[in-house]
Amino acid sequence: MSTRKILNGKGKFALVTGAAGGIGQPLTRRLLDAGFHVLMLDINADGLDAARQKLGGATTGIVCDLTDSASVAAAAATVQAMTRRVDVIVNNAGLIKPGPFLSLQEQDIDLQVQINLLGPLRVLHHFLPAVPAGGSVVNIVSMAGILPLADSTVYTAGKFGLRGFSSSLSLEVRSRGIRVSSIFPSGVDTPMLRMEAQSGGSPLNFVSDPLSAEQVADLAIRAVREGRLEYYLPYGDGVLSRIFGCIPWILPRLLPIFLKKGIVGHKRYLAKIGAAPSDGGTKASQ
């Protein structure tokens, strides 16, 4: 008989950012299946409507621009009119503009920092007061929050920052009985990765075969259920990334090996999706 704790969201609210995106939809599906009323935040109004229609169930769609403090405040006001408590918050929205640092425009830099770091901070600054004892915060980070990636410098900076914020916040709110978890997946087969694969993203995303969005959603649910500080997917990649983080000088020496493997994986992935490399483009998991 399994002793795994069953997640019971009956009568509870969960909030998901980037809810209409590749990971957001299966994550919302799992929260609905657990009984939660899901507050779906996304900047894409049409995508949000389509996702809600597809998923069905008890959802509330809220169009929200995470780069705009007023928009996040308005979303919080909408939620506060519905409920005084939000039991689960999942910061899922993310965005990348790959390419050498000096090739980026200033707006590319600003937007990545806004979405990947400041957005989650804004969401939690407004919604954390509504999280009760026993509630959960889950930040979907990236393996780039542990392992530096050339040609994804600003994305990496935002994810490193989000990891540090999550660890620090967990120390602040543990006395309130709130658990903060971070998830570090490697490349995930979403529209964001497909666009990145065709426009200059790091080959290190393809050292392992890309994960499915469903795998990440399952791990997020596990994090809500268990509340550990950090989760890695796949676990082996997380071990290697943490080793490189502790001994950063070793990475340049081993990088050619991983790049060679990643280039092969990148070509295999492009063949799988029937695509070829192209130039430029910003990718958002909205």
Annotated active-site residue in 155, 231, 232, 269: 155
Surface-to-core class of residue 186, CB atoms within 10 Å of its CB (0-12 exposed, 13-18 middle, 19+ buried): buried
Q: Can you read off the two tokens belonging to residue 68?
A: 């705009």
- How far CA 266 is from CA of 127, 144, 172, 201, 257, in Å, comes to 39, 17, 41, 10, 14
> Is the CB of residue 35 less than 8 Å from the CB of residue 10?
yes
Amino acid at the residue 90: V
155 is a catalytic site residue: yes
What does residue 140 show for φ and ψ, rounded to 5 degrees?
-85, 105
Tokens 């209409």, located at residue: 20
Q: What dihedral do alpha carbons 182, 24, 78, 86 form, nearest 10°?
A: -40
Closest-CA residue to 141 (of 91, 195, 66, 191): 91
Q: Please list, in sequence order, all residues whose beta carbon lies within 8 angstroms of the beta carbon of residue 175, skipping any fewer than 6 positions away.
A: none
Do residues 238 and 232 make contact, with C-beta atoms less than 8 angstroms apart?
yes
The answer to whether the CB of 87 falls within 8 A of the CB of 14 is yes
Q: List, by residue number, the catalytic residues.
A: 155
